[in-house]
A and B are shown apart, each in its own frame.
Chain A
Amino acid sequence: MPQNAVYLMSTAAAAAPALLSGKSLELWRGERRLFTGVSFELRPGELLHIVGPNGCGKTSLLRVICGLTLPETGDVYWRSRKLQRNRADFHASTCYLGHRESLKADLTAEENLVFQLGLRAWLSAADIHAALEKVGLTKQRDVPARSLSAGQKRRVALARALASGAKLWVLDEPYTNLDIAGRELVDRMMSEHLERDGLVLLVAHQAHGVAAGVTRRLELG
């Protein structure tokens, strides 16, 4: 089913140059065209909310933007340079939270974060403790990930985004498995991140609680 993306823009200021942009992205999966003509721009302090029915290619679009999947046509630009030429800098500035939490069941929450974040930033134990405290997992710090509940695992992943210091957060259904307090935590985290001139790419079926004005919407399908 060929689909054209509809791009809606709110009243965000268009003064600053776009940090992240995609130009006429098209992706095929086998014989099926997932999306075509998807373009977007994201400036510091902006959130792009990608919505659409199941199977319309939201996660695939995130993977294209992150450089995990190559699009059929179109390019993604980071700091006005093509992603492929700018990979290390882009990946150092990006934190991707996928469907899966990428946790090792045999390592504790803290160990998981130490090993994941150690590849991208110099962090002290205190930084990681602070992030875990912020997501409400101080007591579960030394618990192996296999003993954590689904919502707690999701919170560990959120702590990774907090401690990563990344400019761009790519969040794929961050609300999954979270209780009400957890969902409010996600909204608060995103708002604070945007205030610090961060960027957020959000895929979520439900409405987010971030104040309008800095948010854009991209409808797929």
Chain B
Amino acid sequence: MTEWPGLGTAFWLQLSRDLRLAFRHIGQAANPLMFFVMVTTLFPLALSPAPELLAAIAPGVIWVSALLASLLAAESLFRQDIEDGTMEQLALSPQPLSLLLLAKTTSHWLMTGLPLVLMAPIVGHALFLPADAVPVTMLALLLATPVLSLAGAVMAALTVGLRRGGGLLSLLILPVVMPVLIFGARATDMAVQGLEVAGVMYLLAAVLLLAVSLAPAGMAAAMRISLD
């Protein structure tokens, strides 16, 4: 029997390669973040700079922008690898494809999801979100953005074989991530009103656990279909 490197090594190798590639194209990787910041800061300009109005719509604006930013990012997740033949090589390696795709998704989240979490305080400030609600919003985004990335990855794996899968991809992802949007925006809203948010947070955490455990298998199965 041939011996090959373990799962941890494979995960780390794939993750570090994708991060290195992303850093060599930092402009492209920063696109979703730019989108998030632009959309959220356009609202005060377009509506009215009245603090009461902005504070009232802030939870919705932040969460809808985060959702759309991650939708925007999902399209490019596997496309490059399919086009240059890298994905075939991953499918033909002795490592489980689900693990490698999970590593790819992790790197994708680090480049597109995590920056949204870190940018939330600044965006919140621009929208007059009460300071008390900012930590809750960040934590909720920290739980929700990986779910958005994972759901996006499953659907991207499914549609990557199609010529123009972009529109279809959004249609497929939106229903799946709707609960995340509802609970996330609710968490921020409840924090603004000074209510207890633990229940919503637990729900978001549960959704994240479900996504982490199920999505990799789904990605791998979908990718094998796309490669066929």
Contacts and interface: CB of A to CB of B under 8 A. Distances in A.
Interface string B1-38: 11111000110011001001100110000000000000
Given A88-B94, A91-B93, A118-B5, A69 B228 contact: yes
A176 interface: no
Contacts of A16: none
B94 A98 contact: no
Given A106-B21, A119-B5, A66 B84 contact: no
Contact of A92 (B2, B9, B88): B2
A103 B5 CA distance: 21
B213 interface: no
Tell me whether chain A's interface is mostly helix, strand or loop, or mixed. loop
A92 B10 CA distance: 13
Contacts of B95: 119-120
A88 B86 CA distance: 18
A99 interface: yes
Interface of B: 1-5, 9-10, 13-14, 17, 20-21, 24-25, 84-86, 88-95, 100, 227-228
A197 interface: no
Given A92-B94, A96-B92, A115-B13, A120 B85 contact: no
A68 interface: yes
A96 B86 CA distance: 11
A184 interface: no
A93 B93 CA distance: 9
A121 interface: yes
A119 B228 contact: no
A67 B91 CA distance: 9
B25 A106 contact: yes
Interface string A104-118: 111100010001101
B88 A121 contact: no
A96 to B, nearest CB: 5
Given A92-B4, A119-B10, A99 B85 contact: yes
A120 B91 CA distance: 12
Contacts of B88: 68, 96, 98, 102
Given A88-B94, A91-B93, A92-B4, A118 B25 contact: no
Interface in A93-144: 93-94, 96, 98-107, 111, 115-116, 118-122
A89 interface: yes
B89 A96 contact: yes
B92 A68 contact: yes
B5 A121 contact: yes
A120 B17 contact: no
Contacts of A120: 4-5, 93-95
Contacts of B228: 68-70
A94, A107, A119, most chain B CB atoms within 10 A: A119
B4 A100 contact: no
A103, A116, A120, most chain B CB atoms within 10 A: A120
Contacts of A99: 85
A115 B92 CA distance: 14
Nearest to A104: B21
B92 A94 contact: yes
Contacts of B84: 100-105
9 contacts: A88-B94, A91-B92, A93-B2, A96-B92, A102-B86, A104-B17, A106-B24, A115-B13, A120-B94
A100 to B, nearest CB: 3
Given A102-B85, A104-B21, A89 B227 contact: no
Given A88-B4, A119-B93, A120-B94, 9 more contacts: A66-B92, A68-B91, A98-B88, A100-B84, A102-B89, A104-B84, A119-B4, A120-B93, A122-B5
